[in-house]
Structure 1
């Protein structure tokens, strides 16, 4: 008898979980499922890859089966909101698995697909609807979906939805859902705005927490290469060439940069493709399917793939560009070492990325081992003679750049910028985030 049998779950769900190879609950499932089955609101803190979908999906399906009933036309009984198309697709796939051998209907609506086809599918209503906020609002504006009968609401990866600017969309959606509902919110981090959102959406929630923010999977080995930006592509090709038969996920910061890098890898003879915000949903789906099947060995992606991409056999994750948001690094490397397997995470750090690297190490509470190069040194102090500094330089220490800028505006003791300094300024945290979507 498994722990699932001890949770008062319907026997058909326990049997279905066993068919899916899910026999023992993960820590987040052990903590969340009993409270959710009792009808309590749940606030879960857990990283991706910890079994969160089953933590809310299993009790959601169980409670809806217990209540019975069928959805009215264009109505939804349970709603799951996710930040990206990829994550929504992953959730919908899992929920359909849990609902196998039942009459429950699971639908998904996301951007990048025909809205008319989605309107047609929703005419019969849905027991469970998985949606991205923007597309759901479009359908609500067209009166293609009604949420007046929705009594279950799940917000998955809520912190990422806030990062992507969905806060107003979430409030608009919640405003039309009955107050008498069960709400579950899952997030990898708990910033101040997230705490405020949870307070307004949940009623006396039970808080469950596993895998504290900033903690990577135990079986991920990490290393960093200190390398000039212009030399990154050559090093990546060299490293990828050592394991051509293994899957590798490469993260870039921008859509344009990721596409350009993918083409370089194809020209170098790798079976590579890319996913980012400029790709249609069909292109993104085909890229992921090719990666899962093994036809594609290298997937270049922006942070749209940092969460929700559940492919157990990803052996290597390369942070070609370090993320602006340090928590995204944890999500990125969480794409490897899944299902108890080993994995390797390799980061490339250019001179203008030292700030991002320091922020990542601070969040994780570790110093990432150095594979090659050495940490980029600070800029020379203004009073040092020219030519006495080190050959490798990075930008000014935090705050130093502001003082120099003030000096150029007329304040005393302005420092001239040394020749051969960095070519561009490091992005401020948060800049460029929308470009990666």
Structure 2
């Protein structure tokens, strides 16, 4: 049984919402960030980067306090307003190629602790503690955890009908996306939606493992203060059929002392290799890998056999394409042990063109690039159900929530 609750959101006024909201802070290059901050005084980037007007070199403690003060300035200036009544929200994101619609709600820390909300990624403790400190000192969060639920016709039909109503926001952004938000604040609809999720036994985190872990840590440390908002964290709940999962491709700086010929010979032990020359070849299915090396593309087909632990309990993990690449190539041939911290490897989201990989290798900074086939939701759920952890940078999942669209105060 899954528990969701409505909450009193703090939101931009409708006339400023397109100016306030922004992409994730890390998505901006330094030049792009500076440009937006200079051009747009309403951008939420001013809240999450308050050091910009002074100096980038300030302590984290001062930065977090600066975020809290700047957020309060936005409220005092009437840029943000707090809802008088707790509500759910329906949020639609339309990109050039796809439409995503989900429910914004508070999800339960108890459900997270009891594995009703399931995880498939590991977390880094220092990042969990850092974001926990951020939440503690700023007193708010505007980055919901992306959570999937099994498709339910009742919820799908309700969403279709709700989208016929007048939204509270409808705006476009400079990256050519359209964003629409509906408020769900009638008692009958709130009760109905809560009951729908009570009939869903399990939810799955798609994106936001560090954020949810930080919310749990903050609850453990501060729940004695009696703040009921700590019992929940803001989530964007979306039907599992409506998420888009991309791969993370890999580029490596050297061949670990191997010549091109030696490297390909070692690959041939576990892969059937076909030369594609200048064809921009991408994997078409599971156990297929693309490779770009020395000016040419290759197709690698994994030789699956009974010796690959297929029938063992960890077969779900060992048959994940990202794990196959690590087990058969990155670790034994290229000597990469730590996928998070080894400076010889970098990651390219699969939504970027493979020409990006070709250019980086051709420029000489990297020696070889690998293209993977994206995982699907069934693999993610199977890993979570068996308490298994994906290798780092296995998935890039959309949709991405707009920062500053909605604030959950703690």
Q: Same fold (TM over 0.5)?
A: no
Question: Which structure is higher in helix share?
Answer: 1
TM-score, structure 1 as length reference = 0.27
Higher relative contact order (CA 8 A, sep 6+): 2
Question: Which structure is higher in strand share?
Answer: 2
